[in-house]
Copies of this chain bind each other. A is one copy, B any other.
């Protein structure tokens, strides 16, 4: 069957840029692309995490990442990389492994992840918070319409729709680092669990609304809760506690059926003010 408006899943930049190739037992070659840079031109951490998950996927006896934690040790650089994986434990219903992303022999990121088969989870379901309250995407504002941010190549890959533009966007930070918006890949690729691990880190940091220029991620934990339905994703990002520059950012992604599909928290650091 022919899908004229839908790019084949594995031709999308997300798929080509996170593709890994086995080079030895548990080791994979990857190529870090320059198409996923964030504020300051740095390679996005969620993208590095997604590449590590694609390597772990090759050796895991279960298909779905469930919980992943990434420590970012050095800035990623566009160019060749290796991912060294290790299976730490294989159980009946889940397995846990580790991936180390190496560039020029130095470790860029270390990822631990538990995989399972989400569709076989049989326990109770109870959602006690509301999904983001947003106008339909086609009635919402595209913050990037006709614009681009120098060095921020991710805005060519991911698009957003908002009820209104955040204050910091106009140079008037409102002081409340808490936002809701729609998000999806450009070029017609629906999200899956692996790309959700990138998307939780794909928006501008919520703390920009307290008047800071940037935020750098130290650690990112992502819970993958359900396979997302096709289409737009409703997101909520929030920072409540900044101490000595360190702050958490909580992020939720809900699909259009009203299911929480991913939930993440990162610990990040404001740039030194001088």
CB of A89 within 8 A of CB of B114, answer no
> Interface stretch among A5-13, A156-164, A185-193, A216-224?
A216-224
CB of B127 within 8 A of CB of A240, answer yes
Cα separation A94 to B216 with both chains bound (whole Å)? 14
Residues 104-127 of A, flagged 1 when their CB comes within 8 A of B and 0 if not, give 000100101010001001111111
Which of the residues B88, B129, B244 comes within 8 Å of A110, measured between beta carbons?
B88
* Residues on the B chain within 8 Å of A225, using CB: 241, 243, 246
Chain A interface (Cβ < 8 Å from any Cβ of B): 66-67, 69, 71, 73-74, 88-89, 94, 96, 98, 107, 110, 112, 114, 118, 121-129, 176-177, 210, 212, 218-219, 221, 223, 225-226, 239-246, 248, 259-260, 263, 265, 267, 269-270, 272-273
- A–B Cβ pairs within 8 angstroms, 9 of them: A67-B267, A69-B69, A112-B219, A118-B244, A123-B246, A123-B270, A124-B270, A127-B242, A128-B241
* Residues on the B chain within 8 Å of A66, using CB: 218, 246, 267
CB of A241 within 8 A of CB of B221, answer no
Q: Which 5 A-B pairs have the closest CB atoms?
A: A123-B245, A121-B244, A69-B69, A126-B242, A73-B89
CB of A69 within 8 A of CB of B121, answer no
Known: A124-B245, A128-B177, A128-B241. A112 touches B112 (CB 8 A): yes
* Residues on the B chain within 8 Å of A243, using CB: 121, 125, 127, 225-226, 259-260
Majority DSSP secondary structure for residues of A touching B: strand
Instruction: Tell me the number of copies of this protein.
Output: 2
CB of A263 within 8 A of CB of B246, answer no
Instruction: With both chains docked as a complex, state the minimum distance between the C-beta of A96 and any C-beta of chain B, in angstroms.
Output: 5
CB of B127 within 8 A of CB of A218, answer no
Known: A121-B244, A244-B123. A218 touches B270 (CB 8 A): no
Cα separation A272 to B125 with both chains bound (whole Å)? 13
Cα separation A218 to B93 with both chains bound (whole Å)? 12
* Residues on the B chain within 8 Å of A94, using CB: 218
Cα separation A89 to B101 with both chains bound (whole Å)? 13
